[in-house]
Amino acid sequence: MSARLTVPKTYKLAIGGAFPRSESGRTYEVTTSKGAFLANAAQASRKDARDAVKAARTAQAGWAKATAYNRGQVLYRVAEVLEGRKAQFVDEIVAQQGVSAASAGAQVDEAIDLWVWYAGWCDKYAQVAGNLNPVAGAYFNISAPEPTGIVAIVAPQENALLGLVSVVAPALVAGNAVVVVASERYPLSAISLAEVLATSDLPGGVVNVLTGSPAELAPWLASHADVNALDLAGAGAIDWVDLQITAADTLKRVLAPGEAVASPQRIAAFTEVKTVWHPKSLV
C-alpha cells in the first residue's frame, strides 16, 4: 500500500462570501520563522480591493438592518466556531510565528475572549454612545449612533490572529461591513478566520479579507469613494500620513496607527450620530 499524500491547504482571498484567487494570478511565499516554506498566499491587487469594497457595500445594508440582539448572536456564534477550531489556529500560529504551543494557545484564547466581549456590546453600545439631550423647549432631542458604512482596515502586522480580531470585531458591532488587509507576514490565520466567518451565519461580504502588501493596497482603499472609514492600526510601517491626506478627499473617518485597545470607543469610532427632534405632547 502506498503512503498517503497530504492535502496542502490553498490560502486564497475572502471576498463576498467566496474564496477566489487574486484576479492577477499572483501569489507570494509565506515562510516559517526560520525561513522554511510554509504556504503560498494570494497577493491581492487593486482590482481585488475594488471587488471587496463592492461586496462589502452590497452586504452592509442588510447587516445594519439586523437587530442589535441578532448581530450579537451572530458574532457570538463566531466565537463558538473559533473555539471548536482552536487547534487549527494554534498550529498555524506556531508555524508562522515560531512561538510555543502554549503562547499560541494563549493568543487564540485571548482572541476568542475579545470576540465574545465585542459580541456582548452589540445591544449595549447605543446606550453608551447615544443620549437623551437636555434642551429648553417642548420637545425631545435624542442622539443615536448609526454605522458609518464600509470600513477599510490595515490589520496589525505583528501577530497572526489577535491583532486581526482586535480591529475587525469592533467595526462589526454597529453594523458596518469590513475590507481588511491582513498581516503580510502572517496571513494564514486571517483566511482561516474568514472560513470561520463563512460558517457562522455572518452574511457573505460583511467581512472581506485581502492578503498581500498593505503598502500596495492601502492607497487604493484610502482613495476609494465608496469606503467610509479607514482604520490604519497596522499601517505604522508605511506612509500613513499620505493615506490620511488621501482619505480626506472623500471625507473618511480615519484612525491613526496604534495599538487596538479593547474599548467601546473603538466601536463608536465607526459610527455616525443622528440627532432626532420630537415634539412633546401638550396634553
pLDDT 10s digits, 131-153? 888 888 888 888 999 999 999 99
Mean pLDDT of the chain: 95
- In Å, what is the CA distance from 18 to each residue of 61, 71, 186, 258? 19, 21, 21, 31
Of the two residues 8 and 227, the one the predictor is more confident about is 227
Distance CA 218, CA 240 (A): 9
Asked if pLDDT for residue 281 goes beyond 80, the answer is: no
Distance CA 182, CA 208 (A): 10
**Cell numbers given for 242:** 499620505
Residue 272, classed as helix, strand or coil, is: strand
Determine phi and psi for 140, rounding to 5 degrees.
Answer: -95, 145
Q: What is the pTM of this model?
A: 0.93
Confidence of residue 4 (pLDDT cuts 50, 70, 90): confident
59 neighbors 151 (Cβ within 8 angstroms): no
The torsion angle over the Cα atoms of residues 97, 101, 103 and 109, rounded to 10 degrees, is 110
Distance CA 234, CA 231 (A): 8
Distance CA 60, CA 173 (A): 12
Burial (Cβ within 10 Å: 0-12, 13-18, ≥19) of residue 251: exposed
Our measurement of the distance from residue 201's CA atom to the centroid of its chain's CA atoms, rounded to an integer in Å, reads 16
Query: What pLDDT does 79 receive?
Result: 98
Distance CA 211, CA 88 (A): 19
234 neighbors 184 (Cβ within 8 angstroms): no
* Pick from 163, 165, 162, 153: nearest CA to 118: 165
Query: What pLDDT does 283 receive?
Result: 57
